[in-house]
Structure 1
Amino acid sequence: MKIVVTGSLGNISKPLTKILTANTHQVVVISSSTDRREDIEKTGATAAIGSIDDVLFLNATFQGADAVYLMIPPNFKEFNSLGYYKRIAENYRKAIQNSGVEQIVFLSSWGAHLDLGTGTILGSHHAEFILNELDAVHKTYIRPVSFYYNLLNYIEMIKNTGIIGSNFKRDDKIAWVHPEDIAQAVSEELMVRAEESTRIRYVASDEKTAAETAHILGQAIDRPDLDWVPFSDADVEKSLKERGLPEKFAQDLVAINASISSGRMGEDYEKNKPELGNIKLEQYAREFAKAFHQQ
């Protein structure tokens, strides 16, 4: 199969590319950086250097592909995150339609079933809606839960205050996922076309309460008393803005956490719960500890 991968050699796209090339597929990796060309070629893939804002480039790159993995990379220069998601999703829709690709796998998010109150995840909701216009295309929407590596954002707090916390309650259950488990799920969907024209697949690696998460991370960094401290939405937003985050981004992060805490984010996930992946929080905690001690 010829498979096009967006996302350059990011946290998901890199292990995905390695899986696909190891299975002898012809893989083309899109990157906006010429500096990535050599690293991409080392994986056994072909580099396509260009912008996902360029529909003509996407048209040409998608030509002859059996399947395409689509993701919308974070872009913190885009203040209007919802407009950015809609624009890139529309670019993908046009290029898929123009090139005749018959199968796509799109990296969405849990909470994409909701049409408000989910911060930046609302972009995934609208992206799925736009891609649904591709009637003749087999579509799989991968909906991962909270990424383990988001926990790295708490390193500064732990070092400065000796606690970890946000607008989660201690007993809130959080579903976590490792990028390698996502890559595995994406590869499976790309290599075998689903019978249904539109398929939704949730991906998770582990489920822990906020307090359990703090305890496991604490054990890994030799701080066994590390505890999860809940804060109000207002306090978290204030703290984020004091650290220099623009108000809109701070509000979006607070909305995401509040939606997880209330259970809204995970309501459809709970109805369609997947088999958990291989990389548990205890294993990821070793990665966290390495990053913690390097900072």
Structure 2
Amino acid sequence: VKRTYVITAATGRTGSHIARALLKAGHLVRALGRDADRLKPLVELGAEGFVGELSDELFIRRSFDGADAAYLVVPGGHDARDFRREFADTGSVYAQAAEARSLPAVVFLSTIGAHDDRYRGFILTHGDVEHVLNKLKGVNILHLRAPKFSENLFYFLPASQAADALVTPLDPDAQFDMAHSKDIGEAALQRLLALDFEGNTSVELHGREVLTMRIIAERLSQIAGRNIAVRKALRQDDIEAMVMAGMQRDFSTLINDTWDTFSRFGLLRAPTAQASIRATSPIDDFLRADFLPAFNHREAA
């Protein structure tokens, strides 16, 4: 069956993977983004490019018109002065447009831990959007509760390069799930293709293995052939470093609230009744191909 899919943040890490795969499978894809030039590769593959702001309800309504399903991402912005409010506002735009256009199905990219309001930072902001979407009637909604992206490690790169160690605000021994963006995109893709969910449901994507920052430092050391220690950064130092790098204080504080949640609670998985799937890409592959070359770039400079 040939369907029409709306992909928000279509030039992003997960959206691009999903859009390309849906086009390859013969479906119609409406690719949403802010930059026509960045959408161009998808348009050349056959997607219909929709250029606009995800916070613009008329724009979102137009993109949802007659669609069979949508992949919803709230990108959030480093420059948001009130990140949580802006994040929730975009979720409300999605909900209102879905209701107005009788959109049949939605896969929302959420995060592990969104089931529990004790978990703060970006976990709470995703929970806000889940609550808004769950109020919709007649729309089948799947919340894909993704783990930390492997690419999130790049947040720690500047401080780590300066110290020649893995410097992180997380407790080095706090456990967490992590998956590569391709695994997260693939998990969403499979549910969009199947559309096998009804009502409001959620599924967790767990990492291939349970990780800690200490384990990651050990793996990094093995790959690099030298010792790379792990050091805990002070919360306030990390916030100030992010502000100095040009990010808003609100964003920098929220991301540290997220790290604090991992440090305090460890794995944020829901109770065992929660449906789950497992990522397949080893963290070692990402460290070898992406993180270590970036980490070593300081030495070459």
Q: Please, what TM-score do these two structures have when normalized by structure 1?
A: 0.91
Unaligned runs of 5+ in 2: none
Query: What do the CA deviations read for 1:132-158 (whole angstroms, capped 9, x no partner)?
Result: 111211000011111111111222223
Residue 108 (structure 1) shift: 1.0
Q: Does 1:251 align with 2:247?
A: no
Deviation string, structure 1 residues 77-113 (Cα, Å, up to 9, x no partner): 2210111011111111111111111100111111212
Deviation at 1:234, TM superposition (A): 4.5
1:100 aligns to 2:99 (yes or no) = no
Alignment of 1:228-243 (within 5 A): 228-237=230-239, 239-241=241-243
Cα 1:99–1:208 change in 2 (3 A) is: same
Q: Deviation at 1:242?
A: 5.6
Structure 1 counterpart of 2:47: 45
Counterparts in 2 of 1:122-201, with a 5 A limit? 122-201=124-203
Deviates more, 1:232-241 or 1:80-89: 232-241
1:213-265 superposed Cα distances (whole Å, 9 cap, x missing partner) = 11222333x25311212344445445545655443333212211111112266
Contact 1:181 / 1:204 at 8 angstroms: preserved in 2?
A: no
Structure 1's 235 and 51: CA in aligned 2 closer, same or farther, altered over 3 A? closer
Distance in 1 (alpha carbons) for counterparts of 2:262 and 2:271: 11
The structure-2 alpha-carbon separation of the partners of 1:36 and 1:237, relative to structure 1 and needing over 3 Å to count, comes to: closer
Match of 2:19 in 1: 17
Percent identity between the aligned chains?
21
Distance 2:273 2:239 in 1: 31
Q: Count the aligned residue pairs.
A: 294
SS of the residue corresponding to residue 167 of structure 2 reads coil
Contact kept? 2:50, 2:63, Cα under 8 Å: yes
Secondary structure of 1:12's match? helix
CA contact (8 A) 1:109 1:143 kept: yes
In structure 1, the residue corresponding to 2:111 is in which secondary structure? coil
**CA distance in structure 1 between the aligned counterparts of 2:37 and 2:244, rounded to whole angstroms:** 35
The one-letter code of the counterpart of 1:280 is P
1:214 maps to: 217
Residue aligned with 1:165, SS: strand
Q: For 1:148 and 1:209, locate their aligned partners in 2 and report how far apart those are by CA, in whole Å.
A: 12
Find the aligned partners of 1:290 and 1:44 in 2 and give their Cα distance.
34
TM-score, normalising length from structure 2? 0.89
DSSP-derived class of the 1:208 partner: coil
Q: Partner of 2:34 in structure 1?
A: 32
Q: Please, which runs of 5 or more residues in structure 1 have no aligned partner?
A: none
Q: Describe the SS at the equivalent of 1:64.
A: coil
* Counterpart among 82, 85, 92 of residue 84 in structure 2: 82
CA deviation map 1:251-288 (0-9, x unaligned):
21221111111226614177637332121101111221
